Amino acid sequence: MDAPSGSSDRATFIAAEAVNNQFGGLTLEERNHSVQNPKSYGAISGSSSSASELVNYLEDFTVDKSTYCRAKIRATFYPKFENEKTDQEIRTRMIEMVSKGLATLEVSLKHSGSLFMYAGHTGGAYAKNSFGNIFTAVGVFVLSRMFREAWGTKALEKEAEFNDFLETNRMCVSMELVTAVLGDHGQRPVDDYVVVTAVTELGNGKPKFYSTSEIIAFCRIWRLPTNHVWLFSTRKSVTSFFAAFDALCEEGIATSVCRALDEVADISVPGSKDHVKVQGEILEGLVARIVSSGSARDMENVLRDHPPPTCDGANLALGLSLREICAANRCNEEQQIRALLTSVGPSFCPSDLDWFGDDSVESHSKNADKSVITKFLESQPADYTTSKLQEMVRLMKERRLPAAFKCYQNFHRANDVSPDNLFYKLVVHVHSDSGFRRYQKEMRNMPGLWPLYRGFFVDINLLKANKGRDPMAMESIDKAVKDAGENCGQQGKDGLDDADANLMIKLKFLTYKLRTFLIRNGLSVLFKEGPASYKVFYLRQMKIWGTSDGKQKEICKMLDEWAAHIRKKCGNKQLSSSLYLSEVEPFLEQYAQRSPKNQGLIGSAGNQVRAEDFLAIVDGDLVEEGDLVKKERGTPATPEPAVKKAVQKDGGLIVFFPGIPGSAKSALCKELLNAPGGLGDGMPVHSLMGDLVKGKYWPKVADECRKMPQSIMLADKNAPNEDVWRQIEDMCRRTKATGVPVVADSEGTESNPYSLDALAVFIFRVLQRVNHPGNLDKSSSNAGYVILMFYHLYDGKNRKEFEGELIERFGSLVKIPLLRSDRSPLPVPVKSILEEGIDLFQLHSRRHGRLESAKGTYAVEWTKWEKQLRSTLIANSEYLNSVQVPFESAVQQVREELKRIAKGEYKPPSSEKTKHGSITFAAINLPVTQVHSLLEKGFSSYQLAVSNPTMRSFLEGKKKSIEEKLERAHVTLAHKRSHGVAAVARYGQHLNREVPIQLTELIFNDNMAAFTAHVGSVDGETIVCKNEWPHVTLWTAEGVTAKEANTLPQLYADGKASRMVIDPPASVSGPLEFF
């Protein structure tokens, strides 16, 4: 039977046979009875091989011509694409595409929880980068609970159908798992729940992700929770959306945001879980993405064909809740997991092997990782999907992307295991966003490369040809799969190119960021470094966000009070980030009660859910979306950089060097110190060489700066990380000095601000040195290793990110010219020896951390590499000398830049970060010069200022006051306090368009004066003003607010104001803007 071709019908077809039949369900009592008698766990019953033999099978498995591999994606979330455009560029492109009818903008709520994926009872349950832990146990329990609530007495039957359906069709359902037992986010949820965010078909080739309309159809068939979604398919609606967000970004809560978006959207589909009722008013944010232009039509069809389902279990006793189970099992994580899985029952959890494995075999071994991946890549692919997955893994390893490939025994296939037929689960864990960015660049060069997914789990089967399908049969069958997969991929683009199809932007609200980014993420700074450093931390964050000045003042006052309160209560014992809301909620509640302004700042407070009673026990610290970070690897919260407008000529300078040994900083400092006339501003120049300072270096620099605040300090030591940068920022704040980073110029790589060319020169220079004060010279046996260690301290940032962060933190950046632009490429032997060293360093650091190279497992390899490094660089010394910019020229250029900074003449380059402040009202902004001209020089055929005696008398008396006060003139169209957010937002489609205005009369008295304004049209559409009296306020007396000018027409009617008609009307114009 062929599936229907229509997108809305296809989801119905997929689930119809499994759902539409009406079965007689077990009673809830029968179900509870079955739940209390779970299947026996811990053994692989009926297995043809004992579990203890599995590792030996792998060791004995050899790859030869008869070896094949079959790999299939088992679970995955959407691909992660890093937009290279700024937020403003993304907005502009989104508006342009919707305006031209090329696409629709889809917006959904961002529930604050963790990623959870479910692929059926044997397919498995997964968190973002892991499985078989407390996160997935909680996820399975909550998903089962959703079925009980939705289906009531038929739940057990429907659970079995659902699991069979996922297994048969090889599908994965991704959800946002929102609970109070896995640690605090922005607000403890009222209830524990999931919301479906993606449905994926994994059966043939490349994963096929359902459209949102298909997801809603799927969820309504199975009665799964859906998210709130809005569609914007016209220019008016899409511009109104962005304006609505900007109006609410600093004060939005779930109720106000949903109300505003409901008013401006073309289609609004409420979620089956009301955010206010299940999570609360604190809303993390919105996710906006481009979808096909036919999405609105598809959504309308789905809503027509699939009405919201009933909730049959709403009034039934559903057994112990998640919080009750966790509260009753507080001994350890294993006890909680077992209790949760036992409560779930056999449909969702027929076996707990994914969580506990088997006692007779170690389910995960580092040796197995390397061995499985090696054999996987060496084997012949049994099908097209396997070849594409091999291509992905091979490329990631060859490009040394920051990713781990962890392999585990697949106990669900234990019955099928034999010496020539092995089964594993592969977890692809990308460690940083730079990995996704670099992979995305590779995709542009290799159009057929599959995307790199978030939450990426693969089933691997290593086999001999006689144990699987015939290779020829595999090839012929798989051609259809390949063609189908490629065709499906083309159809999924909906006519959009890759850059546009992946346009997405996340928009977060200040009420959420206040709690998470400023309070929770600042706990480490507050308790370890004190209130002063904490203030620097949160001010920097707000500057990065572009928080309005007024809101910054409000937050500063509140956070200073919070810091004093919690330090007094907790002393030096840091508050747990997993339970921080236990202290924050009561504080915010009492703070909000003091005034309406405070209430607006906080948004909502007072949720007294006590997570201490039931918090899940996790072996490690909690981070977002289900990742676990072991405690020994925990790092203090690092503040985001603040954007400085320019370097001020006030106080001294602290010149420092975020570089690598060999970048010539000491030689440069010596030249600057001895330069005649210093830096030309009269300030004394001092230098402090790190290699000659005993004890801690940066506190010594701070002492010197305090002693000589009006001087230039050359901090002659590498400053390679953000911890040092924060110390320098603190020095600058305390001494009113300006920090000036000086870096060697380089193109960098995708993940490091320094290129291999620069690294080669740095090492070459170090190996030319003799008698270095720091003992890093040609006599150092491990010089190469030490420089690689410094090089890797910058890993994770490309050059643009590196320079941008320094500019944002310190307001300036000086570059030391290093390499000639006309140089020839780096010789292959030099490039190869450096890449070999980088690979060796990564192996060493993963196993030994920062242990010296001579003491680890790879000591012999390091010795050999250091020797080869020296011989290679010596052999290429002529090249390495020729590509360097002459040192004298480099010194001169740096000196000139520092002179400009010392004189206050330096203007920093743009950091390319666009900020969106909070919108309060929409208005037509009139040039003040036009208004002055109208008043003083006349307009058209008359002179207003002298044509009326009363007017002349008024102007003569108020002329000076008007000139002083009239700095801005505008016609207010709508104010969000008076007319609502949606009313303001709807002007977004005309943003920055020139609007004609006719001034028809002047009404005035001794306290104020204003012109009556008639607003014109744009492109034939009249701009309607929401104010009862459209006007331009000209002047108000001392103590009179501009808002009071609204009363002038009534005052005139009461004989308390004068009016002068302007005939003919005066014409002015100005752009429509948001304020």
The pLDDT of 622-647, averaged and rounded, is 37
**Of residues 488, 570, 493, 572, the one with CA closest to residue 527:** 572
Residue 643 or 763, more confident:
763
User: What pLDDT sits at residue 27?
Assistant: 30
pLDDT at 904 over 90: no
pLDDT at 839 over 70: yes
CA dihedral 240, 241, 243, 247 (to 10 degrees): 130
Q: What confidence tier does 360 reach under pLDDT thresholds 50, 70, 90?
A: low
The pLDDT of 261-266, averaged and rounded, is 96
* Range with lowest mean pLDDT among 370-374, 433-437, 676-680, 963-967: 963-967
User: What pLDDT sits at residue 4?
Assistant: 38
Q: How far apart are the first and last CA of the chain?
A: 59
Is-contact 735 711, C-beta < 8 A?
A: no
| DSSP-derived pairing of the beta strands 685-689 and 712-718 | parallel
Q: What confidence tier does 88 reach under pLDDT thresholds 50, 70, 90?
A: confident
**Of residues 437, 393, 403, the one with CA closest to residue 749:** 437
pLDDT at 954 over 80: no
**Of residues 778, 782, 779, the one with CA closest to residue 767:** 778
Residue 194 or 848, more confident:
194
User: What pLDDT sits at residue 1006?
Assistant: 85
pLDDT at 812 over 60: yes
User: What pLDDT sits at residue 353?
Assistant: 82
Strands of 179-228, DSSP E: 193-201, 208-209
Residue with tokens 């590498």: 718
Residue 450 or 637, more confident:
450
pLDDT at 952 over 70: no
**The one-letter amino acid at 1019:** D
**Tokens, residue 908:** 């920093």
The pLDDT of 692-717, averaged and rounded, is 87
As a whole number of Å, the CA-based R_g of the chain is 33
- Which sequence positions are flagged as catalytic? 110
User: What pLDDT sits at residue 54?
Assistant: 55
Return the H-helix or E-strand segment holding 72: strand 67-76
The pLDDT of 817-833, averaged and rounded, is 91
User: What pLDDT sits at residue 822?
Assistant: 85
The pLDDT of 117-132, averaged and rounded, is 92
pLDDT at 89 over 50: yes
Quick one: 767 exposed, middle or buried, by C-beta within 10 A (0-12, 13-18, 19+)? buried
**The one-letter amino acid at 412:** H
Residue 846 or 452, more confident:
452
> Measured on CA atoms in the order 8, 13, 15, 17, is the torsion positive or negative?
positive
| DSSP-derived pairing of the beta strands 114-118 and 1008-1015 | unpaired
User: What pLDDT sits at residue 261?
Assistant: 96
Residue 469 or 455, more confident:
455
Residues 6+ apart with CB under 8 A from 669: 687, 689, 714, 716
> Highest mean pLDDT range out of 307-311, 437-441, 616-620, 639-643?
307-311
- What is the total residue count of the chain? 1075
The pLDDT of 662-690, averaged and rounded, is 85
User: What pLDDT sits at residue 804?
Assistant: 83
Q: How far is CA 577 from CA 185, 322, 517, 546, in A?
A: 9, 21, 11, 26
User: What pLDDT sits at residue 650?
Assistant: 58
State residue 64 phi and psi, 5-degree precision: -140, -165
User: What pLDDT sits at residue 362?
Assistant: 57
SS3 content of the chain, % helix, strand, coil (to 5): 45, 20, 35
**199 - beta bridge partners?**
173
Is-contact 259 985, C-beta < 8 A?
A: no
User: What pLDDT sits at residue 726?
Assistant: 85
Residues 6+ apart with CB under 8 A from 435: 396, 401, 402, 403, 452, 751
pLDDT at 672 over 60: yes
Distance between CA atoms of residues 924 and 369, nearest Å: 64
**Of residues 556, 525, 544, the one with CA closest to residue 808:** 544
**Tokens, residue 691:** 């290699």
Whole-number mean pLDDT of the chain? Answer: 82
User: What pLDDT sits at residue 919?
Assistant: 86
Residue with tokens 């400009």: 900
DSSP 8-class letter at 204? S
Residue 932 or 141, more confident:
141
The DSSP result for 380-428, as a single string, is: EESSHHHHHHHHHHHHHHHTT-SEEEEEEE-GGGGGG-BTTEEEEEEEE
| DSSP-derived pairing of the beta strands 653-657 and 628-629 | unpaired
User: What pLDDT sits at residue 616?
Assistant: 56
User: What pLDDT sits at residue 643?
Assistant: 37
User: What percent of the chain is modeled with pLDDT above 90?
Assistant: 46
The DSSP result for 20-51, as a single string, is: SS-PPPPPHHHHHHHHTSPPP-SS-TT-SS-G
State residue 751 phi and psi, 5-degree precision: -135, 10
Return the H-helix or E-strand segment holding 713: strand 712-718
* Range with lowest mean pLDDT among 182-196, 314-328, 531-545, 903-917: 903-917
Residue 660 or 11, more confident:
660
The pLDDT of 622-645, averaged and rounded, is 37
User: What pLDDT sits at residue 440?
Assistant: 85
DSSP 8-class letter at 219? H
A 10 A CB-CB count for 836 gives 16
pLDDT at 640 over 50: no
The pLDDT of 499-523, averaged and rounded, is 90
pLDDT at 555 over 80: yes
**Of residues 413, 373, 71, 103, the one with CA closest to residue 238:** 103
SS (H, E, C) 749-785: CCCCCCCHHHHHHHHHHHCCCCCCCCCCCCCCCCHHH
Q: What confidence tier does 922 reach under pLDDT thresholds 50, 70, 90?
A: very high
User: What pLDDT sits at residue 955?
Assistant: 64
Task: For 341-353, write each residue's pLDDT tens digit.
Answer: 999 878 888 888 8
Residue 392 or 931, more confident:
392
Distance between CA atoms of residues 406 and 458, nearest Å: 10
Distance between CA atoms of residues 1040 and 1044, nearest Å: 7
A 10 A CB-CB count for 989 gives 21
> Highest mean pLDDT range out of 258-267, 734-743, 900-909?
258-267
Task: For 4-39, write each residue's pLDDT tens digit.
Answer: 334 434 333 333 333 233 223 333 233 333 333 332
Q: How far is CA 419 from CA 361, 368, 409, in A?
A: 16, 15, 14
Task: For 980-1017, write each residue's pLDDT tens digit.
Answer: 999 999 999 999 899 999 999 989 888 888 999 999 99
pLDDT at 1070 over 60: yes
The pLDDT of 680-684, averaged and rounded, is 76
* Range with lowest mean pLDDT among 70-84, 117-131, 584-598, 815-829: 70-84
Distance between CA atoms of residues 245 and 240, nearest Å: 9
User: What pLDDT sits at residue 40?
Assistant: 29
pLDDT at 680 over 80: no
State residue 1004 phi and psi, 5-degree precision: -155, 160
**The one-letter amino acid at 397:** K
Angle of helix 155-169 relative to helix 134-151, nearest 10 degrees, comes to: 120
* Range with lowest mean pLDDT among 313-317, 521-525, 612-616, 1062-1066: 612-616
Query: Is the peptide bond between 658 and the residue preceding it cis, with omega within 30 degrees of 0?
Result: no
* 919 φψ region: left (φ > 0), alpha (ψ -120 to 50), beta (else): beta
User: What pLDDT sits at residue 9?
Assistant: 41
Is-contact 753 799, C-beta < 8 A?
A: yes
User: What pLDDT sits at residue 604?
Assistant: 80
pTM assigned to the model = 0.75
